[in-house]
Structure formats: structure tokens, C-alpha cells
Structure 1
Amino acid sequence: MAAATAKKTASSISAQDYTAHHLQVLEGLEAVRKRPGMYIGSTDGRGLMHCLWEIIDNAVDEALAGACDHIAVVLMADGSVEVRDNGRGIPVDIEPRSGLTGVELVYTKLHAGGKFGGGSYTASGGLHGVGASVVNALSSRLDVEVDRGGRTYAMSFRRGEPGAFSDAAGAEGAKDPEHPFTAYDKGSELLVVGRVKRGVTGTRVRYWADRQIFLADAAFDYGGLVSRARQTAFLVPGLTIVVRDERRLPGTAGEEGPHEEVFSYDGGISEFCEFLAPDAPVTDVWRLQGAGTFTEMVPVLDRNGHMVSTEVERECDVDVAVRWGTGYDTKVVSFVNIIATPKGGTHIAGFEQALLKVFRKQLELNARRLKVGNDKIDKEDILAGLTAVVTVRLAEPQFEGQTKEVLGTSAVRTIVSRVVEQELTARMTSTKRGDKAEPAALLDKLVAEMKSRISARLHKETQRRKNALETSTLPAKLVDCRSNDVERSELFIVEGDSALGTAKLARSSDFQALLPIRGKILNVQKASVGDMLKNAECAAIIQVIGAGSGRTFDLDAARYGKVVIMTDADVDGAHIRTLLLTLFFRYMRPLVEAGRVYAAVPPLHRIEVVNAGSKKNELIYTYSEGEMRRTLASLSRRNRTVKQPLQRYKGLGEMDADQLAETTMDPRHRTLRKVTLSDGEAAERVFELLMGNDVAPRKDFIVESGAELDRERIDA
């Protein structure tokens, strides 16, 4: 009772004392430092990179305006980062309403900049006028230098406050955020620190991220920076972007010294689309371009500084590059004023709407030739094998939040849909002799994808309807296990019938299943989906695993917890293993990503150590030439006798069942190598290099790597 009374009294006192003086108003950049996640998403490495991209995007906006063709980003050894551009330079004159120079206004006031009203930038990445000021607020030190009118102007800030550091006259390398700082008391001063040639303009921004704000382990991601720089260079033809890393971090390309990469592309998004494409082409890169206008009500500042709702007419430029390949993966990237929108938005919705409309109409017109029947194509059939770069440019687009991941301007959907529909229809119906083959091949591919999807759905429905009395449709050569426990069961894909005979006796029939394959399967990196499904060995593997293939692959439906590739320990066995891994990577990738694909490691040698008397001889298995030599040397030092000749296994069929079980199949003694996928893009490049259609890069790789080959490992 006493506790309840105390609680009630405390509550009533709080209500009485809770007055207006308890309310806080965060002035200027205080709000940014108090709630940084609201402006940059997080305070980890992602937030750190977001700050850097805000500064880079300001420089890129100068390039979009045609005033800049060179940007350099330098990761300094002291933890700072510098962005340089040869744009027009931030204005240095006094802004009349605030009484501040343009430099101080941009870096200290939220929602201030040249991106409003369309006077300075027709289309830009910086939209809300908070990018530079937010970075300034979250930096322990920020230095900005501007070249304009034959002079170099400079200003420094400490956590958003303008002032001067004691090293202002010192060398470049002497700058440090910990040096004494004097804030300006009355009026700020934009210093003139040098002179430049007439006509030379540009901006240099160097800042140190505030470790009071960011997590201790937050670091600049060089790989992400390079990827973004390359992407921007593709999107802005003629722009050169230099990325330089001077940190000398262990394990990086710049470990031994400064590392620099330069990106410059003249092909624009057509070249970008070709760069992103992971598979062999069905069509060339098609460029779909157009524009449209729309009106919207926006608040505009009048001469008196009042916001007045005004109807303005906007123009939206649409530029799309599309290309279909033989695979089933989809790679669609989208941009608004070169700012990536990874979560899409209205421009992607309009793009996909147009694709579906165009191809449904084309299938209706070509229904007899394609033997479509009454089936209707779906969006997923069209997206299979599609690589696309979708870009739109418009003034003041509406985004969801400062992180700009989703475009919200509704009128863009209609414009993009109309442009893509018109341009793509013109491509598909072109009567030029050279333009007819690609649309026909594309329609054939889309119909094959549609039929594959329908077939997979019917197969899944049939499987659900089956009962225990019905016969299995699994291949006759499958030697299945008795257990229904997916987590425990294992499927061994073995090379040839000779190995199958031994493996039957060596396996544990309770949980180990066997599937023999005849020699080398189809190289699916070069083959089409239809050819892969027609191949008996590939079809058998997909059927036995039971989870489908490609887009329809369902990891939860897989019949085995482990899939073990068991091939001979020679070059042919390695080739077969590579072909099988290509099949898994291309059409059953979730199985690899889940860590459920393994490679068996059979021994290369059997060493029989002679024991004295009637004691049974000891058997030692080794798995490499080096291990064999070390074992023999160790036995020789101990004066142990080895029976000659040593047995060198050329194939699994040379082992008897006990040996195969002990060395390769028994979970208590065997060694398995798990196949993992840490970097999908790198794996894609390696598979394309080793197994793809383009022979020249593979030949170069073999020639260049020949010197590193250990000739003793070749089976002659």
C-alpha cells in the first residue's frame, strides 16, 4: 500500500512540474549530433560511408551540371579523408538573408544549398541541403578550400563550429583535429590563403569523422568506395574519378604503399550494363531513351522569404539499358540523378509494368510460332537473365528519407512506363534485317522460362498429391538410403559404375545414398537452360535432390542434408568435380550458400608398414605427395620397414569396400571439404573465366599461370 501511494505521489508531482521549460529546442547542428541515425542511417561503417558519399555526391553534382570532369577521393593515413573536384567552387560571397558567406552557409545550416528551386542544378543527387552540414556536424574537424576568382579561400570547423586551428599556417601533414581550436566570437572569417591561375576553380574538403559519434570499429570500406566510384564513372560519361588509399592497412592492396585506381568510361550505362552482366548474351545491350513532363505543387521561396505553394512543370529524362543473357539471375540497378536507389521506387515500378505489357502483347502476336497456347507470361519469366540499368533525371525528386533508397515521385512511374513501352516495342517489331534475330531469340527464351516455371509448378503439385502407395519417379540408378531424416542423410555423387559397386558395400545404407554419373557432365556455363534440362546426368541430379532448379529452387524441399561429390583423385576427377560445382553454382546456388555441398577427399597413397611376427601390418593413408614423403621420412627415422611398391590410387574403384569406407565415407574417419560462397561476384567471374564461352581470357590465364604449376602433380 505504501509503495502504491509513493508511486501515485511521484506521478502527480511529475505532472505538476512538467511545464514548458522542460521542453528542449535543438538549435542548428545540435539535432544532427543528438540523433545522427536520423540523417545517416547508423553510426557504424555504413554511416561513415554515407557521410563520405554525401561529399562525393556534391562534387558529382558539379559534373552533372557540366562544370567538373575530375574528382579525387583520398583516404589519408591519419584517418581523415579528402575529396577534391575541379567544379565551379562553393560561392564565397555573402548570402544576403543570413549574412554568411556561401561556404559557411553550406556547412553550418541545414537545408541550405543550391539544390532548391532549380536555379543552379537542373538535376542533382543532393536534394535536401543537409549533406555537407551533416558531415560537418559529425566531424571532429573539417577543412574546406575553394578556388574561385584567382584566389584560394579556406575555412575550418570543429564539430560544426567555424573557427581556426593553431596549425592553420602549418604544413598539410601537420593538420590534426586535436590541435588547439579558437571559435569565432562575433563574425566568421573566410580566409584567403593563396592564389591560383585565372579560370582555375574547384573545391577541396578534408574531414576527420568524430569518434565521439561513430563506433570505434567503424572504418571506411575501400571496396565499397571503389564500387561506388566505378558506378558513378559509368553513369557520368567523361568524368574521371581517382580513388587513392594511403592507410597501408594489412591485407589490403595498399599494404605496401599508396594504392590508386582511376575510373573513366565513355560508354555510359550501355557499358555499365555489359559490365554487370553475369552470363552469355541472348541480346546486345538495348538503349531505351525518352522524356516526359509533369506538374506538381511545390513550396517556393518568394522575395520576402515566405514559402508559397506554386505549380511548376518538371521534365523527367529516362535512360535505360537492358540486356538479356542465357542465365536466370536478374541484375537490375536503378538511379535517380546518379544516386543509387537499391530499394527501387516508382521508376522501377514503371519499368517492370512496361516490360510485362510489351512482352504479353508480343507473345499474343507470335502465339502460333511460339506454341504458347493459353499460358500467360509472368514478370519472373521476363526478369530471368535480365541485366538492366534504369536511370531517371529530374529536378527535386521526392525520396523516402535522407538516405535516398526509394524514389517516391509518383508521376515518374507513368513516364518511365511510357518511354520503355514505346522504345522496347520499336525494338521488338523492327523490320530491319539485322534487328530481327535478337527479338526472336529473346521471345524463345522467355517462352522456355515460362514453360519451365509451369512445369515446375505442376511437378510440385503432383508431388504433393502423391501418396505412399504410388511408385517413385526417381532415376533407377539411384541407390537411396532408408532414413527420411534430411539433416542426417547424405547423397554421394560418384564417378562411374566401378566406384558405385565399391561404394555400395562401403556405405551406411541407413543414411547414405549413391547416385552414379557417367563421365563428364554437360558444361552448363556454356549451355542454355533447355540443353541442361535435356542432359540425362544433369536432369537426374536435379530430380534426385528434389528441390527444383534456377528460380524455382526451394532449399527446404531438398531431400538430403549433405551432397558429397566423390570423384577420382586425378585431373579427370578434378574436371568432373568442377563441372558438377558449375551445375550447383548456376542452378542450385542456395544449396552452396547454405553450406550443404561437399567434396570428398579420397587418399592418393596407401603405405603398408610391416610389423614383426604375426602382428597385422599397419596401413597409413596419405592425401598428397608432400604428406607421403614426410610420412616415409618419419618411418625411416624410426627404422620401420615399408612394403614396396607403395600403392598409388588412380581411382576410387581400386579400393576395396573397407578401404573406401575408412578413408572417404565413414563420418568417423573421413575428410570432407565444404564448398562455400563468400563472394558471389568473384565466383561468377571465376566460373565465367574457367567454364565460359570466351576462350581467349582462359588461354591467357593458363599461359600466365603455367609457371606456378607443380609438374609432379600432373598424372602422366
Structure 2
Amino acid sequence: MSEEAIRYDASHIQVLEGWEAVRKRPGMYVGSTGERGLRQLVFEVADRAVNEVLADRASRVDVTLTPDGGVCVADDGPGVPIDEAEGTGGPNLEALLTRMQAAVRPGDRHEVTLGLCGIGPSVTNALSRRMTSEVRREGVRWIQEYARGIAVAPPTQAGPATGSGITIVFWPDADIFGTAECSFDGLADRFRELAFLNRDLDISLTDERCPVEPRSVRFRFPGGARDFVAFLDEQEGAPVHPDIIDFEREDLRMAGTVEVALRWSGSREEQVRSFANSRPTTGGGSHVVGFRDGVAAALNAYARERLLLTATDPDLSADQIGEGLTAVVSVKLDDPEFQGAIRDVLGNTAVRACVGQAVQEHLGRWLEEHPERAAAVLDRIVEAARRD
């Protein structure tokens, strides 16, 4: 052991005060100092606004990429208190934007988390050279400005307000992110996905960085997962059947709801997108296993009842029933249990049986009620299985 190691003591420990830790190791909080990290800055600010809409306190969220490199996130909710003395139980404006949340939110089924860990807009403030906030509340317009996470001055009144809500504008710090630019398409993909998974969400994204070719999209999908499957199928072959099979069910056994939509297309590829509390579960989990269990059980039962499979034929496997299948599986749970550091696998054991039963019942009913379309699906799958 070296002499230096032997002499290691408290004097060797570096203590970072305030936002120093975030600014010194930004990747720990937003994933990277490149384009991915910039997206996370937007998500941490948009997170609160999106949840205002889902809680029915606001009607829409508008996100704008400004010509000077800033990002503006606005909602028409009630705004947040300016003074701590208002006693609403939530943070006031300055606390919201300058204090990191002590812990990750538990993941209530009615909330979504856009950022990596749901730290909140304070981390965006810390990694921005400048941030401005405008609160319209109880007929008064308040503004406050920040520099690298620190309030420049207390909130000040700026006249009467029309309507209510919060507008936050921030400019990422070039000392941290260099020349990286936020991707319009990357933001649009996630906001579109959220709108598919949350029927009440109304969110727009506008890019004003190129005045010659400004871009703007608005996402709102009352059809939910059904609309999501139709969107995913746009680039695939003609569907084997026109119906999108979809349902939503609450199950007390898993303390949550499941929403599923599926259809078989002419493609040989499988597209199964899964989510837990609107978080993508790219590693799958109990809800995906349950979905495959349910689809296999329904198709095998129907195929044997109609003698599409003989007594000597093996059951159709998960790989065989997945050919050409487009599906969205979304669960919203009171107490989701994610596995792994990036929380991309759902672990709740009760979910598998609940989702499997729901899928088997609803798909089985559709097969019975639409024999011609069921035959088109099963003939293709059974024929492919026999070729294999």
C-alpha cells in the first residue's frame, strides 16, 4: 500500500456546495452534455406542466424552441404560489426552481415523469446560463430571473395578468453543452408518445430557430393506444384485418389499469411498444410477458376449437404469433416496481396474470365475433408456423 493511500483522511474529501455538484457532473442528472442532455432539460421543465393538464388544472402545454437558443414552456394552469405563506402544501416559485427535490416521486398512476428521475426544473435552472419565469396568478403577473440556478432577485410584480399559468424560458449553458442543439424530432417523438398514452393531454411543439422554415406540431389523441397502433402501422404493409383490437381495464389485484391495442399487418416484423406509468419499458417486464401469454392463449384456444391446429401440432409460440403484430401495452399502477438503474423493466409480479387474463378475454371475444377476420390472422400464422 502506498504512503499516499495510508495518509488518506477527511482532508482528501471534496465537498461541493449548492449547484456545484450538478454543474460538475451534469451527466449524472440529465444523462449527457450533448443533445440527449438538452432534451432532458426540456423534459424536466415540461414535466410539471404536463401533470397540470393530467390533473385537470390546465388545458394545454406549449413548448417553443426560440431563435436565440432558448426553450419556452408555457401552460394555462393556476400558477404556483409566490409567497410561502400561501400554505398550499406545494413549493412556491423560487423553491420550485432553485431547490432539488429530495426524492423521486413515487410514480402515482395519474402522474408522468418525463425526465430521467423526476428531479424537476431546478436541475434545468442549474445547467442554464439564464432562466426567466412568469407566473400569472390571481390577476397578478409576477416575474423572476435566475443565473446558473441562483435567483438574481426576488419575484417582482409586473402588472395585471390576463388568465393564469406559468411560462418558463431557459437558455442552456454553453460552458456545459458546447454547441449541441436540441432536436425537434427527439422532443416531438416523446411528446407524441405521451399524448397517445394520456388521452387528455394537449401539447404543442414549435421550432422558431429557422425563420425561413418554422415547424409546429400539436399532439392530442382521444383514441389513446388505438391511435398509437394506427400511427405505428402507417409505415407497415396493408393490415391483415382492418380492426384495431383495443380495450382498457382496471384491476384491483394489480392496483392499476391496463390499456392494450393490437393489430396484425402484412409485414413480417413485430412492433410491441410497452409502457408503465407512461415511461417506456424498452426492456419489457411483467406486463409484456402477460400480454404475450394472453395473445398466445387466445389464439391457440381458437385455433384448436376450429381445428386449424391438429392434435399433433404444437401450440403456436410467442415468436410465431408475433409476426406482423403491432401492439401497444400500457399499464398505470399506484406502486410501480421498476428494475435496473434506468428503470426500463417492470417487475410487479401481479401484473403478468392480470394483463394476461384481460388480453385473453378481449382477444378471444374478438376472434369469436369476427370469424372471417380471425381466419385471416390464424391462417397466416399457422401457415408460417408449419413452414418453420
Q: TM-score, normalised by structure 1?
A: 0.49
Match of 1:340 in 2: 280
CA–CA distance in structure 2, aligned partners of residues 353 and 331 of structure 1 = 16
Corresponding residue of 1:353: 293
Spell out the pairing of 1:424-439 with structure 2 (5 A cutoff): 424-430=363-369, 435-439=370-374
Does the Cα contact within 8 Å between 2:107 and 2:336 map onto a contact in 1?
no
**Alpha-carbon displacement from aligned partner over 1:173-201 (angstroms, at most 9, x marks no partner):** xxxxxxxxxxxxxxxx232323224xx33
SS at match of 1:212: helix
Q: 1:157 to 1:412 in 2, by over 3 A?
A: farther
Q: Give the superposition deviation at 1:104.
A: 2.3
Identity of aligned residues (%): 36
CA distance in 2, matches of 1:327, 1:265: 25
- Distance in 1 separating the partners of 2:45 and 2:288: 26
Q: What secondary structure, in the 3-state scheme, does the structure 1 residue paired with 2:174 have? A: coil
Structure 2: runs of 5+ lacking an equivalent: none
Matches within 5 A, 1:620-631: none
Match in the other structure for 1:374: 313
1:18 to 8, 22, 29: 8
Contact 2:65 2:72 (8 Å CA) reproduced: yes
Task: Verify the 8 A CA contact 2:65 2:209 in the aligned structure 1.
Answer: yes
Distance 1:116-1:335 versus aligned 2 partners, 3 A rule: closer
CA gap 1:345/1:30 in 2 versus in 1, 3 angstroms? farther
Please name the residue that 1:263 is paired with. Answer: 219
Shift of 1:115: 4.5
**Distance in 1 between the 2:207 and 2:107 partners?**
37
Matches of 2:18 and 2:26, distance apart in 1: 13
Q: Which residue of 1 aligns with 2:129?
A: 140
Quick one: distance in 2 between partners of 1:286 and 1:319? 11
Match of 2:113 in 1: 125
User: What corresponds to 1:37 in structure 2?
Assistant: 27
Aligned twin of 2:238: 280
Residue type of the partner of 1:287? D
Letter of the aligned partner of 1:288 in structure 2?
Answer: F
The 1-side partners of 2:166 and 2:92 are apart by: 13
Equivalent pair of 2:136/2:166 in contact (CA under 8 Å): yes
Is the contact made by 2:240 and 2:265 (CA closer than 8 Å) also made in structure 1? yes
Deviates more, 1:131-140 or 1:236-245: 236-245
CA 1:387–1:429 in 2, change beyond 3 Å: closer, same or farther?
Answer: same
2:259 to 298, 319, 324: 319
**Structure 2 CA distance, aligned partners of 1:95 and 1:83?**
26
The change in CA–CA distance for 1:257 and 1:445 in structure 2 (over 3 A counts) is closer
* Distance of aligned partners of 1:442 and 1:117 in 2 relative to their CA distance in 1, 3 Å threshold: closer
1:159 equivalenced with 2:122 (yes/no)? no
For the 8 Å contact 2:80–2:91, the answer to whether it is kept is: no
Correspondence for 2:47: 57
- Report which of the two structures shows the higher radius of gyration computed on alpha carbons: 1
Change (3 A) 1:51 1:400: farther
Show the counterpart of 1:193. Answer: 158
1:66 aligns with 2:6: no
- Separation of aligned partners in 2, 1:95 and 1:29: 26
Secondary structure in 2 matching 1:52: helix
The change in CA–CA distance for 1:107 and 1:344 in structure 2 (over 3 A counts) is: farther
Does structure 2 conserve the Cα–Cα contact (< 8 Å) formed by 1:115 and 1:396? no
The equivalent position to 2:100 in structure 1, one of 110, 123, 131, is 110
Contact 2:96 2:122 in 1 (8 A): yes
User: Given the alignment of the two structures, is residue 289 of structure 1 paired with residue 252 of structure 2, yes or no?
Assistant: no
Q: CA RMSD in A?
A: 3.0
Work out the CA distance in 1 between the residues paired with 2:93 and 2:348.
31
**Is the 1:363–1:372 Cα contact (8 Å) retained in structure 2?**
no
Counterpart AA for 1:392: V
* CA distance, structure 1, for counterparts of residue 348 and residue 9 of structure 2: 41
Retained in 2: the 8 A contact 1:358–1:425? Answer: yes
Residue of 68, 81, 91 corresponding to 1:78 = 68
Shift of 1:389: 1.5
Q: Which residue of 2 aligns with 1:211?
A: 174
Write the distance in 1 (CA, Å) between the matches of 2:172 and 2:76: 24
**Is the 8 Å Cα contact of residues 54 and 200 (structure 2) preserved in structure 1?**
no
Moved more, 333-342 or 44-53: 333-342
TM-score by length of 2: 0.87
Q: Which amino acid aligns with 2:204?
A: V
